Amino acid sequence: MKRLAIYCGSATPADPIYVESARIVGRTLAERGIGVVYGGGKLGLMGAVADAALAAGGEVIGVIPQALVDAEVAHRGLSELHVVETMHERKARFTELADGFVTMPGGTGTMDELWEAMSWSQLGYHTDPVGLLNIGGYYDHLIRFVETMGEVGFLRPQHRSILIVAETLGELLDRMASYEPHVPITRMTRADL
């Protein structure tokens, strides 16, 4: 994996575990020679990941819609800053630039990015690993929900391994590096569906 798309919040929660974890992610990826592709913002966890990666000598590519540039939240010190018109273009660019996806704690936008990465994987639009870094149990309920989708039958057995979950970045990166792509819906037979 040469570059990973990092999905995380633009907010700064009161609990310092989230910002500190974001700094660890940025620094660790840079130290491992893995570039960061992210939302291009300077605030919250997004800014913490970018700043830590840059401070450690890493490559950081931001992809941000013009409306957020106009709102003055763009990080201007990145290796590259791609300005796009829409959120859809932003997410498509993440997929083009990255070799995998890591979701950290965040809000609605982060969830949108995670679900699209999972959905696109399921459909075969990409074959890259989709990771979830469960910092401080933040995603425990989401993990249980994904399990429920499988138990009920809305997530096929072939696709239950799309979401790779770990509580530490090292474990997550190791599991993502050994990810074997599944058979996407577009290549399944009618009997499998």
pLDDT at 182: 81
Long-range contacts of the stretch 164-171 (C-beta < 8 A, 24+): 164/129, 164/130, 164/131, 164/132, 165/131, 165/132, 165/134, 165/139, 166/131, 166/132, 166/133, 166/134, 167/133, 167/134, 167/135, 169/24, 169/25, 169/28, 169/133, 170/28
User: What is the mean predicted confidence (pLDDT) over 166-184?
Assistant: 94
With a cut of 70, say whether residue 193 has pLDDT above it: no
Structure-model confidence comparison of residues 73 and 192, the more confident one: 73
What is the rounded average pLDDT of the residues 187-192? 73
User: Is 99 a residue whose pLDDT tops 80?
Assistant: yes
Say whether pLDDT at 190 is over 80.
no
34-90: pLDDT as tens digits: 999 999 999 999 999 999 999 999 999 999 999 999 999 999 999 999 999 999 999
Region 162-179 average pLDDT: 97
Would you say residue 186 has pLDDT above 90? no
Mean pLDDT within 91-104: 97
Nearest CA-CA partner of 139 in 180, 96, 110, 161: 110
Q: How far apart are CA 122 and CA 128, in angstroms?
A: 11
Q: Are 188 and 159 in contact (CB under 8 A)?
A: no
Pairwise CA distance, residues 9 & 14, whole Å: 13
Phi-psi region of 45 (alpha: psi -120 to 50; beta: other; left: phi over 0): alpha
| Long-range Cβ contacts of 12-18 (<8 Å, 24+ apart) | 12/43, 12/44, 12/45, 13/105, 15/136, 17/135, 17/136, 18/45, 18/104, 18/105, 18/135, 18/136, 18/138
109 pLDDT higher than 90 = yes
Work out the average pLDDT over 131-159. Answer: 96
Q: What is the CATH number of the domain that holds 143?
A: 3.40.50.450
- pLDDT for the residue numbered 187: 76
pTM: 0.94
Q: Quick one: pLDDT band at residue 24, thresholds 50, 70, 90?
A: very high
Q: Retrieve residue 115's tokens.
A: 């679900």
Domain extent for 158: 3-192
| Number of domains making up the chain | 1
Whether residue 179 is predicted with pLDDT greater than 80 in this model: the reply is yes
Distances (CA, A) of 86 to 11, 27, 89, 115, 148: 21, 29, 5, 17, 32
Which residues is 62 bridged to in the sheet?
Answer: 38, 81
What is the token pair recorded at 27? 């620094």
